[in-house]
Amino acid sequence: MASGRVEPAYCRGSHTLVVSMAMFKQNRQRLCERLHKNNKVPKGAVILLQGGEADTRYCSDHEPLFRQESFFHWMFGVEEPDFYGAVEVDTGKTMLFAPKLPAEYAVWMGKLLTEDDFKVRYEVDEVYFIPERGLNTDSGKYSREAAFDGISEFKVNNEVLHPEISECRVFKSDMELEVLRYANRVSSEAHKEVMRNVKPGMYEYQMESMFHHYCYFQGGLRHLSYTCICGSGDNASVLHYGHAGAPNSKQLHDGDMCLLDMGGEYYCYASDITCSYPCNGKFTEKQKGIYNAVFKASRAVMAAVKPGVSWVDMHLLAERVQLEELAKLGLIQGDIEEMMKVRLGAVFMPHGLGHFMGIDTHDVGGYPEGTERINEAGLRSLRTSRTLEHRMVLTIEPGLYFINVLLDQALANPEQARFMCQEVIEQYRGFGGVRIEDDIAVTEDGMECLTVVPRTVEEIEQLMAEGEGHKVTLPQEAGKPSV
Amino acid sequence: MASGRVEPAYCRGSHTLVVSMAMFKQNRQRLCERLHKNNKVPKGAVILLQGGEADTRYCSDHEPLFRQESFFHWMFGVEEPDFYGAVEVDTGKTMLFAPKLPAEYAVWMGKLLTEDDFKVRYEVDEVYFIPERGLNTDSGKYSREAAFDGISEFKVNNEVLHPEISECRVFKSDMELEVLRYANRVSSEAHKEVMRNVKPGMYEYQMESMFHHYCYFQGGLRHLSYTCICGSGDNASVLHYGHAGAPNSKQLHDGDMCLLDMGGEYYCYASDITCSYPCNGKFTEKQKGIYNAVFKASRAVMAAVKPGVSWVDMHLLAERVQLEELAKLGLIQGDIEEMMKVRLGAVFMPHGLGHFMGIDTHDVGGYPEGTERINEAGLRSLRTSRTLEHRMVLTIEPGLYFINVLLDQALANPEQARFMCQEVIEQYRGFGGVRIEDDIAVTEDGMECLTVVPRTVEEIEQLMAEGEGHKVTLPQEAGKPSV
């Protein structure tokens, strides 16, 4: 086969994880059992899902690299665009409907797989080609037509599936956990590679480039889970830095703290990891203080996580620990519980403690029908307010940031300002921020941390020192070329 | 500014090209002059363009990295999504309409630029915020509303602009050429980096990874122009290999020819380069024969290209040279002109000789109104049939491929089969293919080659030998991890 695959499994070379198609079969079984158990479907029901579609950028013929739609991936593991899939709920019998490409496409796309090829590749019961669609041979685009003629003869229920499949996705099977572990292990190693090589004078995007290269070259992770956030100095306080309007383009200055939120995905399963450290490899006392405050919050949450615990309580625990530590550092003063009441923690950590993670970085199922967001600062940013259960996978990502707009608001608000030591806080403006983000799986009686990177100040400084002497060479200034 | 930009110019660090906003001002002037000269617009006309929009993947909140729509980029050089732009044709006066983001977005996106900030950044006459749109604070998505209330008071002509702006894009200014040169230079160096490091045992995608890393780390090229085609062995004959269904996942075997079609883009300006060589660094006689046939065609075209020459004639020239060389190698025999009549060249090179390149890899303007495709094998794949003019930028990419489906068709067609030495051709099945692709600009009396990579067999073998001894280390097999 063109992809070099020799058995019905996903793999990107002998150094990468082999994922059996049995994982998706098990996912389908879990969904069918759930639909039955909850009496959601009549006898003879069939689940029908449409996969992601190939697309072109704007009016051009540029095809962005295809990435499968997440529900479809969870059900079938199909890598190619323009598929449909169906599952008989009573029997689990699975059918794929593949696009029938014109024979001449073999010249451009490689050997066209037959129905039987796909049946073997994805280990399903039946595969049928969707009748050829009208192909515009200039643009290469298909004219859309009603797929599945005759669908009107079936009774279609568009509402039952979404909540049930979302709920299935919340709980990861052993096989899914193994894939998440792999994506996390590779991404953890990639973070370490960046730590070993970063130095002042580098540009933020060069850290992004090293990270992606390591993930892809070493681990076969072609896609990253999300756009890399590589903030240095004050940029580390911009929560979604790295986007097209702020494209990781600042140069690293000696003394800058860096906040690197980067994760790769393997076969659509995500990782989401943040490391924070000074680009010169040596924490100042001030940096150490803030870092250790966040680290203490992270580990307090990890010690408390287990089935039955409320995620909202975990958020509040992290806030409380961080406020205690900020008080010790002299940035705030007063009664911690009073601070909690006026949501002082959200001034320094405006985002939620963490979120579900799986095939999507922000995975589905955070607020099932009947649950609501808590409309208070910080808490309203939580992507779930659920009680933890075995097999949930989440990020734990406390952080402390010095965001001028939020500091100014708080200082202007007497309820909050009374706890704030303004003259000390002023010294932290421009500091940036610290976030420590790990991915964890809730176990039967606690949790497993999937992320394996240096976390204590000492561990980080030691790894960064190892890089000395064999760091990458920076590009030469090219005599300032310009147009 | 959050992006680290200190003057109104695009730049990704002191080692990368500085692009002045004057380039876009000049583009706008060229367009306005053309509209006037061709009497296409009444007095007081205003050009109104909508930029690319921020989007999320399927139903998730995953935001793919934004890349500007190409016409909008050519006019304004704006990096951010969700802009509109307007130009008064009589005066050239330029206005940008920027999305007004809610103040709290500063926490997530960084310092929100003011109207004046954007005015300075993009060197335009006026900037106005588009009134705030309804923001869904859960999904982060905006509800769409009619932008530019009152547009109905204007007389809108939706037809005049597209052909005129496309025609402007066909002819590159000196400043545009300089950006294209830079993208090409960086991408050429990235190809050389891959050549130095490739070796049997590596996977195809690891070449993609090295290429992207070099482009981004060394040259600031965040986006690639298109998905990398990294075919080895027989995969080198799959013209659009590398897509999601054939994701560069084969391992390189000793003796495999590689065909690497990869290019990076800088500030949306593309490069598009193909190098072909054996992964072990040493051509066999057979590989050398096919390679030199393609190389001879490439250089024959380059020697002939100048204003006034027909691109169709260039395609036929390349075909003719390649057929002559295939005859010398004993794969075909007979009268070359007779072979040309039955389109034998297209059996071995089913694609066109090359295409316009600029902000899009396959740039606009190939078939202006009134010109038509030539409906013959090979020629119908040409993306333009125009006569060459000064300042056009094109790829020259002859190739020879051994594609079973096309060989079988030809052998079954007596008109073509009579020229084919079947027993020799059979020895080339599985060979893969060779393509040599350079980007060129048509000058006043000839052409300039923008691509600078080793092209003779000797140059390639020498560069690949240089890599010996300091090649990258391949990942260890991780004890075959599997799920």
Q: Tokens at residue A436, please?
A: 């420590």
Query: What b/e sequence results for B393-407 when a residue is b if at least 16 CB atoms lie within 10 Å of its CB, and e otherwise?
Result: bbbbbbbbbbbebbb
Establish, for the pair of chains A and B, how many residue pairs have beta carbons separated by less than 8 Å.
255
Q: Is B403 on the interface with A (CB under 8 A)?
A: yes
Out of A139-148, B138-147, B254-263, the most confident range is B254-263
Of A383-387, B8-12, B473-477, where does mean pLDDT reach its minimum?
A: B473-477
The backbone torsions φ and ψ at residue A446, rounded to the nearest 5 degrees and listed phi first, read: 180, -130
Residue where the block lists tokens 């002859």: B398
Chain B residue numbers touching A179 (CB-CB < 8 A): 483
Nearest CB to B110; choose among A179, A246, A483? A246
Query: Does position A2 have pLDDT exceeding 60, yes or no?
Result: no
CA A88 – CA A262 distance, rounded (Å): 39
pTM for the model stands at: 0.92
CA B52 – CA B109 distance, rounded (Å): 18
Query: Does position B280 have pLDDT exceeding 50, yes or no?
Result: yes
pLDDT value of position A104: 83
pLDDT value of position B476: 62
CA A354 – CA A451 distance, rounded (Å): 14
Mean pLDDT on B263-290: 97
Interface touch B205/A220, C-beta < 8 Å: yes
pLDDT value of position B7: 58
Let me know: does B249 contact B205? Beta carbons within 8 Å: yes
Q: Is B350 on the interface with A (CB under 8 A)?
A: yes
CA A409 – CA A346 distance, rounded (Å): 12
CA B313 – CA B311 distance, rounded (Å): 5
Q: Is B2 on the interface with A (CB under 8 A)?
A: yes
- pLDDT digit string, tens, across residues A172-208: 999 999 999 999 999 999 999 999 999 999 999 999 9
Average pLDDT, chain A: 91
Q: What is the 3-state secondary structure (H, E, C) of B231-296?
A: EEHHHHHCCCCCCCCCCCCCECCCCCEEEEEECECECCECCCEEEEEECCCCCCHHHHHHHHHHHH
Chain B residue numbers touching A206 (CB-CB < 8 A): 216-217
Interface touch A15/B474, C-beta < 8 Å: yes
pLDDT value of position B136: 45
Q: How would you list the strands of the sheet with B257-262, edge to edge? A: B229-232, B257-262, B273-278
- pLDDT digit string, tens, across residues B33-83: 999 998 888 899 999 999 999 888 888 888 889 999 999 999 999 999 999
Query: Does position B449 have pLDDT exceeding 60, yes or no?
Result: yes
Which of B217, B401, B471 to mutate: most A Cβ within 10 Å?
B217
Nearest CB to B15; choose among A16, A247, A475? A475
Listing DSSP states for A105-123 in one string gives GHHHH-SPPPHHHHHHHHT
Q: Is B398 on the interface with A (CB under 8 A)?
A: no
> What is the CB neighbour count within 10 angstroms for residue B252?
22
Interface of A with B in 42-101 (CB under 8 A): 52, 57-70, 79-81
Q: Is B183 on the interface with A (CB under 8 A)?
A: no
Of A82-96, A116-130, A363-377, B143-157, where does mean pLDDT reach its minimum?
A: B143-157
Q: Catalogue the E-assigned strands of A19-91.
A: 19-20, 46-50, 84-88
Smallest Cα distance from A130 to chain B, Å: 17
Smallest Cα distance from A16 to chain B, Å: 7
Chain B residue numbers touching A15 (CB-CB < 8 A): 474-478
Q: Is B227 on the interface with A (CB under 8 A)?
A: yes
Interface touch A240/B350, C-beta < 8 Å: no
Which of B249, B351, B477 to mutate: most A Cβ within 10 Å?
B249
Mean pLDDT on A76-83: 94
pLDDT value of position A5: 45
pLDDT value of position B249: 94
Smallest Cα distance from A42 to chain B, Å: 27
Residue where the block lists tokens 């960046």: A194
Length of chain B counted residue by residue: 483
Pairing, β B447-449 against β A84-88? unpaired
Instruction: Report the chain A residue with the minimal C-alpha distance to residue B407.
Output: A107
- For residue A132, name the pLDDT band (cuts at 50, 70, 90): low
Average pLDDT, chain B: 91
Q: What is the ipTM of this complex?
A: 0.91
Q: Is B224 on the interface with A (CB under 8 A)?
A: no
Residue where the block lists tokens 């009152």: B150
CA A246 – CA A225 distance, rounded (Å): 19
